Structure 1
Amino acid sequence: MVLSSSWKSRHKRRGCWVGPGLAALLWFCVCTQFICAVRAVGETPNVVQKDAEFDVTYNDTVTSENQTIYAFNHTISRNKTEGVRVTVDVLSQNLKSPILFVVRQQQAVLSFQVPLILRGLYQRKYPYNHVGRTLCQPPTRAISETQHFFIDVSTLSSQGTNYQLRVSRVESFTLQTDKKFSFTASPSQPQYFKYIFPEGVDTVIVKVNSDKTFPCSVMSIQDIQCPVFDLDNNVAFLGMYQTMTKKGAITVQKKDFPSNSFYVVLVVKTEDEACGGPLLYYPLRPDELINAGNRSKILDVMVSQAINLEVYVMGMLFCMGIFLSFYLLTLLVACVENKRMNKKREVFESPADTSPAETVDNGSTLSSEAITDSATSTDNNYGYMERSLESVGRSRQESLSSVEEDDYDTLDDINSDKNIVRTKKFLCVSDLARKDKRVLSKKYQIYFWNIATIAVFYALPVIQLVITYQTVVNVTGNQDICYYNFLCAHPLGALSAFNNILSNLGYVMLGLLFLLIVLKRDIVHNRAMVRNDVSALECGIPKHFGLFYAMGTALMMEGLLSACYHVCPNYTNFQFDTSFMYMIAGLCMLKLYQKRHPDINASAYTAYACLAAVIFFSVLGVVFGKGNTVFWIIFSVIHILATMLLSTQLYYMGRWRLDAGVLRRIVYIIYTDCIRQCSGPMYIDRMVLLVMGNIVNWSLAAYGLIERPNDFASYLLAIAICNLLLYFAFYIIMKLRSGERIKCLPLVCILFTAVVWGFALYFFFQGLSTWQKTPAESREHNRDCILLMFFDDHDIWHFLSSIAMFGSFLVLLTMDDDLDNVQRDKIYVF
């Protein structure tokens, strides 16, 4: 090549003249790149495409130098959907590089490697050499259409790797309504099937069952789209899903699937921790491969039609009808009672029967109606006005007596000296009803206003929280968040289990009815007080309605919070369902005690502070109590000490002091009363009650310390209920021993309530779900609906327990109606 001098000089001036040596170097580089490209073309893997057929097993070998493409074609129909399943086995062991299988379809691509590596907890790796996958079937608009798909097999291993490939049709790919279909699944061989909503069906329930508890499985409902997430590490990416052992059920609504169809995906998990099972082997390193073993599981799937709108309407009408009938029954009883009272008033207002007011032996003036009632009671051996100690019985003389002046020293300041009055051997209600009625009324009204305040501040965040829970469930599709009875969970709108919420309506309606009954009695009593009715001023158990209002409010709140709990029942919101149960039990005990001890009953602030402590321990027990020895020791010690302190408070009527000298006084009493003269207890009745109460509570404390029950909330509630029942039984026994009687209405309420409580507890202990276990284990207890195809056992518990609580409240309200015309200095304290 000859370069002109002008060109040379021009490029020399620019400083970029290319000499002969540099040109030779450039030519060498170009030739080298060309040779490398030719060599690279020579190393391209040999690609072989084969026309393949269904239901034929292909045994072949793949290396980095050869690649095989299997071409398939099949005809799909709009009226009939068939699944296509690819099954691969790798026969070689100790592979350094896996085989990659890529399935290319018209609208989707599926790729997986063999051995298939699935990860478990702490990134543990599980290899599977046998893999089976179902191909996604996109919808078609044509009546009949032929589709092609290809399977590419390749690897980077230079050594030959043997494999088997088989493609087959899944004849039962579309599930039929009410027809059970059985199949086998494993972590590397998931299964999924298609279901199409029939005409006129808006909601179905998909049920999956298995005879084996383990291995743990996952059931998923996904929309018809590609890809289908059917592996353990991606099944939660789309749709609704839940873990299962033996049972699984998901209610599916047509409105959630625009194509009017969905996939039912079944996956076996690589590990069992999610279902409460143990892990037998823990690797030393996260990247260590673990032998997965045999984790195949036989499953049955069946899709059934869920209830229709008529069943919803029947369920709601049934629920409303039951509790509205109590309103009608109450109205009927009130009308009959008013009619009876009007007839009695007409009899006493007639001229022949009119008599002047009579004076009883203590100087109090009573109406003729009161005297007549008293005389009638005397004829029936229930006379309180003129009865003697001999009529009560010899045994009662040692523990009870009427107020006589020689029973105690009549000091001038007896009305103000609490120690003299409360430490008398025999007390009557008049001794503990000395405070101003207006002051006591305001004191007990605080119970109602406090619980109303608590209810507002408690309920608002609860409602907000459960709405958030339900939203999370609906958005994520994670059915393991809430512990429903999935075999009888009927959705309505955004709510997943509307029937469990509806069944709590009884607490609210009957609580409101009880408030109305109490209000009516309160108005009647206030009117009697305004007209200075002697029977209201000086007879019967003092009427204070604040605790009754608090009890009715607590019953309504129990219904509201129980409904909130059942929006999404789980481990973190259990206290919504139990908090007001503790309050109801505590308020009932306080009301029983208040009947005979109106002046010395606990204040609202003290009572609610104690109930708050109980709820606090309930939370601690659920969070830290499971298997924690230290917690159970501390709780048992506190339980026993609290029982002893309360017993002392009740025995001495509050006339004792907890100070530095308490131990010295205890030793002195033991020495003087037990050792020196061996005298019996001064207050025999109270001592019997407190000894029995201590035995029961100490036994419960020992049981908790030894057995350590998992359900601490129920254990704590059982303690409260046992104490309430013990005190109630003591009250009834002492009432009968005192010569008092129980009228027809409270007697009917007692018998009716006892029967209803028995049936209610039977349904409560059915245990359809439990948040103390994993969601999969909880579903093993799920059962079908048993009432109107809408309500399950727990719903019936809600019905019966609300009725039983209402009946129990009526018993407390009416059990002392027989004393309304008896002077308070003739009514014994026990």
Structure 2
Amino acid sequence: MICDCSDEAERGGMAGRWKPSRCSYTRFVFGLLFVLTVEVVEVVQGGPGDENGSVAAAAAVVVQKDGQFDANYYDKVNDNMQIIYTFNHTVTRNKTEGVRVSVKLQSESTKSPLLFVVRQKQAVLSFQVPLILRGLYQRKYKYTQVGRTLCQPPPLALSETQFFYVDVSTLSTSSIQYQLWVSRVESFTLQTNKKFSFNATPSQPQFFKYEFPEGVDTVIVKVNSEKNFPCSVMSVQDIQCPVFDLDNNVAFIGMYQTMTKKAAITVQKKDFPSNSFYVVIVVKTEDEACGGPLKFYPLLPDELMDPGNRSKSLDVVVSPAIHSEVYVMGMLFCLGIFLFFYVLTFLLACIENKRMHKKKVELLKPADTSPAETASLLGKTPASPYEYGSFADNASTLSSEPVTDSLASTDANYGYMERSLDTVGRCRQESLSSVEEDEDDYDTLADIDSDKNIVRTKKYLCVSDLARKDTRVLNKKYQIYFWNISTIAVFYALPVIQLVITYQTVVNVTGNQDICYYNFLCAHPLGALSSFNNILSNLGYVMLGLLFLLIVLQRDVVHKRALMRSDVNALECGIPKHFGLYYAMGTALMMEGLLSGCYHVCPNYTNFQFDTSFMYMIAGLCMLKLYQKRHPDINASAYSAYACLAAVIFFSVLGVVFGKGNTVFWIVFSVLHIVFTLLLSTQLYYMGRWRLDTGIVRRIFNVIYTDCIRQCSGPMYIDRMVLLVMGNIVNWSLAAYGLIKKPNDFASYLLAIAICNLLLYFAFYIIMKLRSGERIQCLPLVFILFTAVVWGFALFFFFQGLSTWQKTPAESREHNRDCILLSFFDDHDIWHFLSSIAMFGSFLVLLTLDDDLDTVQRDKIYVF
């Protein structure tokens, strides 16, 4: 039955007269049961019905005190006493005043901690003393002195009085003595370009407020310390409560980075709606995050570590960052310096075109010419007094053949010279091969293998001996270099771009600036990019790579037109012109700029191979091009060359991941390095006329027995032997250095191997060119000198080392330095500028190095 407790029911429906109802009796019964239940609970818990409970209730007191700033309070509390300190202070909107609560435990040992709760108008801060902070491997450190700064949210009114309360309590049955003092923080609001010094410990972190002044949109917060350790964390957080200022929670919000001596964070006004932010400094409990030593101690489950003295003195300075005008000036400078090379190239092309036109006009004029002048017009060079082995005899034999040159009747308007039909027929017959010949160096003739052995194993070779294949076949072969590297670039670049965008997103979302190794003192953000200047400075690689492609294209077009006119110089003279490798080199230079820019979006040790992969390719392509100049028929195919470069990049990745201090890896790599050097040396020495099969050991033994034991005879190819011996000495030395030192930067070590081999081969090429009676024209000589000077300055700026991912992020920031060019570019940006110019100059050297041979017959050009 439901009880109706309405007024009408209780009054029985009679106005002004009350009578008891069934609901009234129900209420009475429930009320009686409730009173009895309360009495039973009080008896069980020692409440008012118990004598001991009455004494406890009388002792549980709350003491309230009016607190004063900068006053020391020495008090005691236990589980029957709680103390509340009441403070008040005036807060104005134009001036923020910091308040700091400091506590020091006076009792020697306590089983229960003191609990401090600071109640503010819009926030609550709580902590215990002693404070227990955890480190690596769950190590616990005990701090008996704690200091915390109260957050200060902006007041609603112009000026208001705010109260806050400090509650002190404990569950310890024995009294615990402590010292409490509350103080105002001097210089809580940081001033622009004004240094402020302070101390911090793990249990006494510090934070300060900064407000953006009018007209300033971006600032750089710099924190410095004279001591490397203890390791610290600098954080930038929005104005809100609570402030995360302990080692175990400082990474929860805002931007942060670990530091030893230096830390710098660029802060943009648009990221903070309140136009202000907190600068938080936290000293870590351990130094492992900053690369410091960490001793291992066997710990018991409840063992507490001695924190030691971990006080650190620091300075903080907030200075305005660059304005938008500096961004514009930096971009215009970067664009202008490389457009200058386009203008200079255009002017040189105009001058060269005018000179060639003038030369054609002079050739059209009838004039008496001496035999020497006729020989120069024919592309003949006077006999050199230098004799290269038995080349003098070969040259005299060749020169004894009758050669009658005349102006070709069909090309009389252009002044082209033509050799006798007998000579032309002989040279062309030697150079022709099957057009159907594929890239694998096989011909359809049955006796081609014996012919190759006869030609390539001669003691002295001319370019005509190694330029016997059809030009169309070789052009197709070398064009594959360009198409393959273009395909590699697309499939390599797309995932790289996706990955670095993910890296940058993670940095922006998490605020963890230890992910990327920037030069934070000169890292200018733009949009979502944290260091736009390091990306912009890579523009030179792309622009100069494109310019080199245009220069090669112009030469390619001119050469094809000459072939279409049956120009004798293009057909029978000079180094055979194959432009596929040049196109591949220009493309590699452009991709180096793109991937270097991607790497500098977020540079770290996991993506360093993005910056070096195409450097390996550039070094390899340059060596292949040098070799191709004198060995066009036997140069490596694109497939085998890129397969070798892929192996190099594979080892680069393995070295970065597993090579740091791994003895097994370095032994394997050094052995493979030496074996590959020996195989390549054999391939170069015998011009590819050797086989790697089961009989290789027997043939090596026979060579050693006949040439070294039975009779001591010198090598047949002395120059090649000198080059290969020097190359093996250099490579074996580099392998030994790697095995002994085990450098951390394996990618740079691998790149150094490639560059050393390239420089060695280039020096050998120049020396042999001069020894062979050839000369270096003025233009390539200028390129060589200019490139050498630029490389020298570029390497100087490269070795400044503004950051290094071989160390921890905090140690890397010790090398950070301010911008040195236009307040926008740092040393590494200048390295980008100079190295791109130097690479462009190096490519021009290779392109123009043998221009002096354009009118020399190929059977007069020596192979080395």
Q: What corresponds to 1:379 in structure 2? A: none
Q: What corresponds to 1:295 in structure 2? A: 310
Cα distance in 2 between the residues matched to 1:568 and 1:814: 38
Q: Does 1:509 align with 2:547?
A: no
Q: For structure 2, list consecutive stretches of 5 or more residues without a partner in the other structure.
A: 1-31, 401-429, 431-444
Match for residue 559 of structure 2 among 503, 508, 525: 525
- Give the 5 Å matches for 1:17-28: none
Q: What corresponds to 2:846 in structure 1? A: 812
Match for residue 182 of structure 1 among 193, 197, 203: 197
Letter in 1 for 2:56: E
Q: What corresponds to 1:43 in structure 2? A: 56
Q: 1:598 to 1:621 in 2, by over 3 A?
A: same
Match for residue 640 of structure 1 among 668, 671, 674: 674
How far did 1:352 drift? 3.9
Residues 205 and 246 in structure 2, CA contact (< 8 A), matched pair in contact too: yes
Match for residue 826 of structure 2 among 785, 788, 792: 792
How far did 1:464 drift? 0.5
Letter in 2 for 1:437: T
Letter in 1 for 2:547: L
Q: What corresponds to 1:324 in structure 2? A: 339
Residues 531 and 600 in structure 2, CA contact (< 8 A), matched pair in contact too: yes
Q: What corresponds to 1:191 in structure 2? A: 206
Cα distance in 1 between the residues matched to 2:643 and 2:107: 72
Deviations for 1:67-103, whole angstroms, at most 9, x for unmatched residues? 0000000011111111000000011122110000000
How far did 1:261 drift? 0.5
Match for residue 109 of structure 2 among 94, 109, 123: 94
Q: What corresponds to 1:364 in structure 2? A: none
Q: Secondary structure at the match of 2:266?
A: strand
Q: Does 1:201 align with 2:211?
A: no
Residues 120 and 270 in structure 1, CA contact (< 8 A), matched pair in contact too: yes
Letter in 1 for 2:238: D
Q: What corresponds to 1:604 in structure 2? A: 638
Letter in 2 for 1:231: L
Q: Does 1:753 align with 2:766?
A: no
How far did 1:370 drift? 8.5
Q: What corresponds to 1:143 in structure 2? A: 158
Q: What corresponds to 1:343 in structure 2? A: 358
Q: Secondary structure at the match of 2:600?
A: helix
Q: Does 1:82 align with 2:104?
A: no
- Give the 5 Å matches for 1:276-295: 276-295=291-310
Q: What corresponds to 1:387 in structure 2? A: 383
Q: Secondary structure at the match of 2:221?
A: strand
Residues 768 and 794 in structure 1, CA contact (< 8 A), matched pair in contact too: yes
Cα distance in 1 between the residues matched to 2:589 and 2:250: 43
- Give the 5 Å matches for 1:485-504: 485-504=519-538
Q: Does 1:572 align with 2:606?
A: yes
Cα distance in 1 between the residues matched to 2:658 and 2:827: 30
Cα distance in 2 between the residues matched to 1:272 and 1:286: 22
Residues 123 and 286 in structure 1, CA contact (< 8 A), matched pair in contact too: no
Residues 234 and 263 in structure 2, CA contact (< 8 A), matched pair in contact too: yes
Cα distance in 1 between the residues matched to 2:94 and 2:764: 74
Q: Does 1:730 align with 2:726?
A: no
Match for residue 141 of structure 2 among 126, 130, 138: 126
Residues 63 and 154 in structure 1, CA contact (< 8 A), matched pair in contact too: yes
Cα distance in 2 between the residues matched to 1:287 and 1:506: 60
Residues 525 and 536 in structure 1, CA contact (< 8 A), matched pair in contact too: yes
Cα distance in 1 between the residues matched to 2:369 and 2:714: 52
Residues 92 and 163 in structure 1, CA contact (< 8 A), matched pair in contact too: yes
Q: Does 1:563 align with 2:557?
A: no
Cα distance in 1 between the residues matched to 2:594 and 2:392: 45
How far did 1:748 drift? 0.2
How far did 1:33 drift? 2.9
Q: Secondary structure at the match of 2:208?
A: strand
Match for residue 586 of structure 1 among 584, 596, 620: 620
TM normalised by structure 1 equals: 0.92
Q: 1:785 to 1:369 in 2, by over 3 A?
A: farther
Q: 1:465 to 1:26 in 2, by over 3 A?
A: closer
Q: How many residues align?
A: 784
Letter in 2 for 1:443: K
Report percent identity of matched pairs.
80
Q: What corresponds to 1:363 in structure 2? A: none
Q: 1:28 to 1:754 in 2, by over 3 A?
A: closer
How far did 1:291 drift? 1.1
Q: What corresponds to 2:129 in structure 1? A: 114
Residues 124 and 286 in structure 1, CA contact (< 8 A), matched pair in contact too: no
Q: For structure 1, list consecutive stretches of 5 or more residues without a partner in the other structure.
A: 1-23, 359-367, 376-383
Residues 784 and 845 in structure 2, CA contact (< 8 A), matched pair in contact too: yes
Q: Does 1:33 align with 2:27?
A: no
Letter in 2 for 1:125: K
Q: What corresponds to 1:312 in structure 2? A: 327
How far did 1:123 drift? 1.6
Cα distance in 2 between the residues matched to 1:374 and 1:694: 42
Q: What corresponds to 2:349 in structure 1? A: 334
Q: What corresponds to 2:412 in structure 1? A: none
Q: Secondary structure at the match of 1:179?
A: coil
Q: Secondary structure at the match of 1:43?
A: helix
Residues 390 and 460 in structure 2, CA contact (< 8 A), matched pair in contact too: no
Residues 131 and 188 in structure 1, CA contact (< 8 A), matched pair in contact too: yes
How far did 1:560 drift? 0.0
Q: Secondary structure at the match of 2:179?
A: strand
Residues 414 and 420 in structure 1, CA contact (< 8 A), matched pair in contact too: no
Q: What corresponds to 1:21 in structure 2? A: none
Letter in 2 for 1:537: L
Residues 348 and 369 in structure 1, CA contact (< 8 A), matched pair in contact too: no
242-251 or 77-86, which deviates more: 77-86
Q: 1:824 to 1:416 in 2, by over 3 A?
A: farther
Q: 1:399 to 1:801 in 2, by over 3 A?
A: farther
Q: What corresponds to 2:417 in structure 1? A: none
Match for residue 768 of structure 1 among 802, 810, 813: 802
Cα distance in 1 between the residues matched to 2:634 and 2:554: 26
Cα distance in 2 between the residues matched to 1:140 and 1:502: 44
Residues 221 and 263 in structure 1, CA contact (< 8 A), matched pair in contact too: yes
Residues 375 and 381 in structure 2, CA contact (< 8 A), matched pair in contact too: no
Cα distance in 1 between the residues matched to 2:129 and 2:393: 89
Cα distance in 2 between the residues matched to 1:428 and 1:315: 52
114-123 or 36-45, which deviates more: 36-45
Q: What corresponds to 2:435 in structure 1? A: none
Q: Does 1:211 align with 2:205?
A: no
Deviations for 1:214-244, whole angstroms, at most 9, x for unmatched residues? 1100000000011100000000111000000
Letter in 1 for 2:688: G
Cα distance in 2 between the residues matched to 1:687 and 1:400: 23
Cα distance in 2 between the residues matched to 1:27 and 1:315: 84
Q: Secondary structure at the match of 1:314?
A: helix
Q: What corresponds to 1:15 in structure 2? A: none
Q: What corresponds to 1:701 in structure 2? A: 735
Residues 523 and 532 in structure 2, CA contact (< 8 A), matched pair in contact too: yes
- Give the 5 Å matches for 1:140-539: 140-352=155-367, 371-373=375-377, 385-387=381-383, 391-393=385-387, 396-397=389-390, 401-402=394-395, 417-539=451-573
- Give the 5 Å matches for 1:621-632: 621-632=655-666
Cα distance in 1 between the residues matched to 2:564 and 2:358: 23
Cα distance in 2 between the residues matched to 1:373 and 1:777: 66
Q: What corresponds to 1:659 in structure 2? A: 693
TM normalised by structure 2 equals: 0.88
Residues 624 and 631 in structure 1, CA contact (< 8 A), matched pair in contact too: yes
Residues 220 and 241 in structure 1, CA contact (< 8 A), matched pair in contact too: yes
Cα distance in 2 between the residues matched to 1:422 and 1:757: 37
Q: Secondary structure at the match of 1:323?
A: helix
How far did 1:372 drift? 3.7
Match for residue 811 of structure 2 among 777, 790, 794: 777
How far did 1:288 drift? 2.1
Cα distance in 1 between the residues matched to 2:34 and 2:598: 81
Cα distance in 2 between the residues matched to 1:63 and 1:796: 67
Deviations for 1:356-375, whole angstroms, at most 9, x for unmatched residues? xx9xxxxxxxxx99954467
Q: 1:215 to 1:747 in 2, by over 3 A?
A: same
